[in-house]
Amino acid sequence: MASVKWLPILIFVLLFCESDGAKNYNHQKDYLWKFVKDGSHKLVGDNFDVHNTSFASSPTVLSCYYEYNRPPVDKVDAFLCTHLLFIGLCDIDSNNRLFFPNVNVARDVMRLKKTNPQLKILLTLTPRNQRISNIVLNRNLSAVAVRSITSYLRTNDFDGFDIDWEFPSWSSDAKPTDKNGLTSFLKMLRGSFRSGPKKLLLTMATSAPWTISEKAYDIPSLNKYLDFVNIMNYDFHDFSWYEPFTGYNAPLFAKPLEIWLLSRLNTAYSTLYWVENGMDRSKILCGIPTYGRGYTLLFSFLHSVYAPAIGPSKFGDGLNYSMICDEQRGGLGGYTLEWDDDAKVPYMHKGRQWLAYEDERSVSLKAQWIKEQGFAGAMVFDLASDDWQGSCSYNLFPLIKAINRVLFD
């Protein structure tokens, strides 16, 4: 993709400039590179860009990722989302044991259920690949993990468990046994969650790019054992040395000029891939980001999508919506605001800064599409990167509120 004389610059950028969006728990960004390296993927004809307007019968879900203290519990609107996915404090230690949030932290978060008794709070596991690989490969370790998860959730009044494993059988430190191991592990969890006084929910954060989904999951089994999949429809484009040009974090649809794999890197394609491969619409939560992605352009006068870029923006790689609003309001010269009517997303540029983000319009259009498709609802990543501080207006959490309004209208 890059011409050869670029390579030294690009490698420099890779080594010194690229910031790691670690807070986003997202390792999807290498899918393109792996696609190119591993030429084994076949591209077959697509027949799933049809719009299906049959509505799901189950109640609509708006599931939001929430990291402790981002924002503090007192600032979380307990009525904004139907489900909160509490992320960041559940992992696996070097002895293959799960560890969980401190009980005082759990109690603090559970206060939200006093305000809204309908709110469901799930705990998200963000496991290290090698450790979860060990667990799912070994029935005894799995049994111990399932027991400790079930007991922790029931003791601390959680409503379910969510697994954000990025990604089985796909990551460089993953094992080929992960795919089937995951299925057995989910089956055991499902069995354990079914018994007892209250049924617990079981969900997973799953990849959006089909190149990952195809390798990582046995989709019919996920359909059998999970209540919902949270499809991470973001990070489709992000600065890297093998993709040294601008792109949208979360385009809804393909642009007419996008060909081959580029035409598949969007929310609609990814989500319908899951439908085509055996996931019920009533179990699909289509991911919507509240964060954007920033680039530094090579030339300020080339500022369209797919313009050459030399690194992340001066604000870094991941952008929150408060910062976008601050930049739009202040500053001499100001940004030029653009709207891409194919991809249905905004971007803005000023000098060599090029920022792709979500606004109320883009997230509303995604929510509208979700309704038209009859999916269970939306997943949002995350509360922290929406404007909870009031930089945009007095209306806090404007993006998630916009999604909520469309979904429950």
| Contact stretch for ligand NAG (CB under 6 A) within 302-310, 316-324, 330-338, 361-369 | 316-324
- Judged by beta carbon, residue 207 or residue 373, the one nearer ligand NAG is 373
Stretch that binds ligand NAG, among 170-178, 192-200, 312-320, 394-402 (CB under 6 A): 312-320
Closest CB to ligand NAG among 38 and 49?
49
Q: Is 73 in the site for ligand NAG (CB under 6 A)?
A: no
> Does residue 177 belong to the site contacting ligand NAG (CB under 6 A)?
no
Q: At what angle do helices 360-373 and 267-276 cross, to 10 degrees?
A: 20
Under the binding rule (CB under 6 A), the answer on residue 138 touching ligand NAG is: yes
Q: How many CB atoms lie within 10 A of CB 341?
A: 8
**206, two tokens:** 């799953």
Q: Looking at beta carbons only, is 69 or 102 nearer to ligand NAG?
A: 69
Is 277 a binder of ligand NAG (CB under 6 A)? Answer: no
The Cα 229–Cα 387 span in angstroms is 26
Distance CA 140, CA 143 (A): 5
Query: Residue 146, Cα to own-chain centre: how many angstroms?
Result: 25
For residues 400 and 81, the answer to whether their CB atoms sit within 8 Å is: yes
Residue tagged 């401190």 (tokens): 102
Q: In the complex, what is the shortest distance from the CB of residue 323 to ligand NAG, in angstroms, rounded to a whole number? A: 4
| Residue 270 to residue 133: CA distance in whole angstroms | 25
Nearer to ligand NAG, 107 or 139 (CB): 139
Residues 6+ apart with CB under 8 A from 56: 281, 282, 374, 375, 376
- How far apart CA 408 and CA 81 sit, in angstroms, is 11
Contact 392, 76 (CB under 8 A): no
First to last CA, the chain: 44
Size of the site for ligand NAG (CB under 6 A): 12
For ligand NAG, which stretch binds (CB under 6 A), given 94-102, 244-252, 298-306, 320-328? 320-328
Q: Could you please report the per-residue DSSP string of 97-155?
A: -EE---HHHHHHHHHHHHH-TT-EEEEEE---HHHHHHHHH-HHHHHHHHHHHHHHHHH
Task: Considering the complex, state which of residue 104 and residue 140 has its C-beta at the smaller distance from ligand NAG.
Answer: 140
Q: Is 140 in the site for ligand NAG (CB under 6 A)?
A: yes
> Does 323 help bind ligand NAG (rule: CB under 6 A)?
yes
Give residues 348-387 in contact with ligand NAG (rule: CB under 6 A): 384
State in angstroms the smallest separation of the CB of 269 from ligand NAG.
16
CB nearer to ligand NAG: pick between 3 and 94: 94
Query: According to CB under 6 A, which one of 124, 320, 353, 404 is a site residue for ligand NAG?
Result: 320
Span 49-68, contacts to ligand NAG by CB under 6 A: 50, 52, 54
CB 5, min distance to ligand NAG, A: 33
**Residue 313 in contact with ligand NAG, rule: CB under 6 A:** no
Residues 6+ apart with CB under 8 A from 95: none
Q: Using CB under 6 A, which of the segments 48-56, 179-187, 200-208, 356-364 binds ligand NAG?
A: 48-56
Structure tokens given for 192: 């354990």
Question: What is the nearest approach in angstroms of ligand NAG to the Cβ of residue 139?
Answer: 7
From residue 93, how far is each of 132, 147, 154, 164, 195 by CA, in Å? 10, 16, 21, 16, 27
Q: Which is nearer to ligand NAG, 41 or 175 (CB)?
A: 175
Give me the least distance between CB of 257 and ligand NAG, in Å please. Answer: 28
Which residues of the chain form contacts with ligand NAG (CB under 6 A)?
A: 50, 52, 54, 138, 140, 281, 315-316, 320, 322-323, 384
